[in-house]
Structure 1
Amino acid sequence: MTTGYEPLDRPKPVAPDIWIVDGPAIRFYGMPFSTRATLVRLADGSLWVHSPTRMTDELADRVAALGAPAHLVAPNWIHYAYIADWKARFPEARTWAAPNVARRAARHGLDLAFDHDLAQVAPPAWAGQIDQMIVRGSTVHREAVFFHRKSRTLVLTDLIENFEPRKLPRWFRWIPKLVGVADPDGRMPRDMRATFRDRDALREDVGRMIAWAPERVILAHGRWYDRDGTAELRRAFRFVLD
């Protein structure tokens, strides 16, 4: 299935030492979701991999040419499906999980033993290079967000989705508008927004993301923002900032 973000399964440069990999679409609630991983080369030359996408032989070779993957990150309770495939290809890599990831994987019959839990502050492995936090306020959705200082790039997963209707099959094009995740006004999906009962906590954490002053915001689904990142955050989260 084409996604509109071809070529797939290959690193594409975003800025020095940071790449995205657009993967194939997956079905979620029947709708095709484009997928996207983010790779960062750390100061020691190793790679940090966020929300790994489908692994292929060609992708493995292209990734290895950039550096050795050392950290495989499952940033929320939905984005973990390909961690095991990457771990099998790069067995020296350490695996990191956001809250609820391991429990959901086990419930779906996947035996994933993560090496580390993600916390509110970056671990020594990437402290000073990539800032992080677990966004608070939801009764269900606990997502780790990351800020690559060198490139001033914020890396999100599902807190903002920005589907381009023209890139979806015709019979699905109405869904993003209904759910509130259609480009150019992509936002947090309405069903996810309803789980954020503690709006003060969410507002505080969005404020921290804005304070990072990102130039870019990479999203897992749909068109990401290659410029005006801080303004896009203010727009997308206006429901909690206004």
Structure 2
Amino acid sequence: MQESTEKWQAIADGVWALSYQFSNMGMRISTRMTVIRLVDGSLFAHSAVPLSPAQKAALDELGPLRHIVAPSAMHHMFVPPLAQLYPQAQLYGTSGVLAKHPELPQMQRIPPDDVAPWAGQLQCLPVKGIPTLNETLWFHPASGSLIATDLLQCWQGPLSLPVRMYLGLTGGHERLTVPRTVRLLVKDKAAVQACARQIESLPVQRVILLHNSIIDTQPMQRLREALSIWD
């Protein structure tokens, strides 16, 4: 595993992100871990990435990492190494993630918002109707940040030829959208429509995407355009 030299990026007050480049099926792509400081000073991490010693030291300066969340059944592979770095942290995942990590018996299913350690500070939005994805979106009201995994994608900037070819099939190049690969996985359109309406009701100021970009220009308009496929 190649050590990353990326630095933590301040996204908003109490919100940071770190990108990690890796290869998947021959494509060079990026993923992102988002960290939020809770009112007790502890840190909540969304979607683990590997950390270099320098990245871990920078993270530790922000506060103690006490909560690590694997937000979907498709994004969990870097949870074990992060858990080894932070054995005191609580691990949470969707039902699909728990099934894939029997070696992590300490991992819990993501609890309801009202009884979670982040109650009143973060809102977990399960994406119902797409069981294979088994994704949760997260909203941080204090910063207006919506964190998405695969349901929403927008790839910007210089991209390799294999990635551009892939995006030609799935969509999401320079435009916020629900990829065609995700649309094909829908089993209950009404449930997905209800989730889309819930997302549109939030006062979103930015969309932090797991892959590649962060949308902070006209986020609500672009969200509505992306989700309009289920109108």
Q: TM over 0.5: same fold?
A: yes
| Post-superposition offset of 1:212 | 1.1
Residue 164 of structure 2 corresponds to residue 173 of structure 1? yes
For the residues of structure 2 that align with 1:161 and 1:7, how far apart are their CA atoms? 24
Aligned match of 1:232: 222
- Give the match for residue 131 of structure 1: 123
How many angstroms apart in 2 are the aligned matches of 1:187 and 1:37? 20
Amino acid at match of 1:161: Q
Q: Which residue of 1 aligns with 2:89?
A: 93
Task: Specify the alignment match of 1:204 in structure 2.
Answer: 194
- How far apart, CA to CA, are the structure 1 residues paired with 2:145 and 2:163? 30
- Shift, 1:188, TM fit: 2.1
Give the partner amino acid of 1:234: R
- Long gaps (5+) in structure 2: none
Q: How many residues end up aligned between the 2 structures?
A: 230
Amino acid at match of 2:170: V
Q: Are the equivalent residues in 2 in contact too, given 1:135–1:202 (CA < 8 A)?
A: yes
User: 1:110-142, CA deviations, whole angstroms, 9 ceiling, x for partnerless residues?
Assistant: x22343101553543001100112110114111
Structure 1 CA distance for aligned equivalents of residues 225 and 23 of structure 2: 27
Once residues 128 and 26 of structure 1 are traced to their aligned partners in structure 2, the CA distance between those partners, rounded to angstroms, is 37
1:73 shift after superposition: 0.5
Partners of 1:172 and 1:87 in 2: how far apart? Answer: 30
Closer/same/farther in 2, CA of residues 138 and 118 from structure 1, 3 Å limit: same
Deviations 1:178-212 (A, max 9, x none): 211211x2322212211112111111111111111
Which residue is 1:113 aligned to?
105
Offset at residue 14 of structure 1 (A): 0.7
Confirm or deny: 8 A CA contact 1:97 1:118 kept in the other structure.
yes
- Residue in structure 1 matched with residue 37 of structure 2 by the alignment: 41
CA distance in 2, matches of 1:171, 1:129: 39
Conservation of the 8 A alpha-carbon contact between 1:119 and 1:134: no
Question: Take 2:192 and 2:114, find their aligned partners in 1: how far apart are those partners?
Answer: 19
Taking a change above 3 Å as real, the CA distance of residues 94 and 182 of structure 1, as seen in their structure-2 partners, is same
The corresponding residue for 1:12 is: 9
- Give the Cα–Cα distance (whole angstroms) in 1 for the partners of residues 195 and 39 of structure 2: 27
- What percentage of aligned pairs have identical amino acids? 26
Secondary structure at 1:38 match in 2: strand
Q: Calculate the TM-score normalised by the size of structure 2.
A: 0.92
TM-score by length of 1: 0.88
